[in-house]
Amino acid sequence: RKEVEQDPGPFNVPEGATVAFNCTYSNSASQSFFWYRQDCRKEPKLLMSVYSSGNEDGRFTAQLNRASQYISLLIRDSKLSDSATYLCVVAPNTGNQFYFGTGTSLTVIP
């Protein structure tokens, strides 16, 4: 079983739509969670960390559900510039490595 699993999409949504991505993780001891954004042929960049209580940054809301072992990303009022691949990342509190999902592709259509 993979450490982190994401629906690869693609998600094609019209401008102004609300879209949500989910990501499941297998290690219940995981402590740190992130969403990264990766534009085509570019490096991933941190979009936001995911906190236990959930957190919001403008149009973006991230939530963590430890009981079901998933994290989510909600994008409201989608913009053309939101088109990218969104990577879910999970890490233990100590130890070795971060685990990346394969990414969910989003295209916002005019």
Question: How many residues would you count in the chain?
Answer: 110
72 strand-pairing partners: 22, 63
Binding another protein by CB under 8 A: which of 49, 56, 79, 80?
49
Stretch that binds another protein, among 11-19, 21-29, 60-68, 96-104 (CB under 8 A): 96-104
Closest CA to 53 of 65, 36, 40, 45: 65
Q: Single out the residue of 65, 69, 78, 94 nearest to residue 86, CA to CA.
A: 78
DSSP 88: E
For another protein, give the closer residue by CB, 53 or 93: 93
d(CA 50, CA 70): 11
Q: Is 98 in the site for another protein (CB under 8 A)?
A: yes
Site for another protein in 18-47 (CB under 8 A): 31-32, 34, 41-46
Residue 69's Cβ-count burial label (10 Å; 0-12, 13-18, 19+) is middle
Structure tokens that stand for 110 in this block: 């005019």
Of the residues 64, 71, 87, 106, which one makes contact with another protein according to CB under 8 A: 87
Binding mask 53-82 for another protein (x = CB under 8 A): ------------------------------
Nearer to another protein, 8 or 16 (CB): 8
Residues that bind another protein (CB under 8 A): 4, 8, 31-32, 34, 41-46, 49, 87, 89, 91-98, 100-103
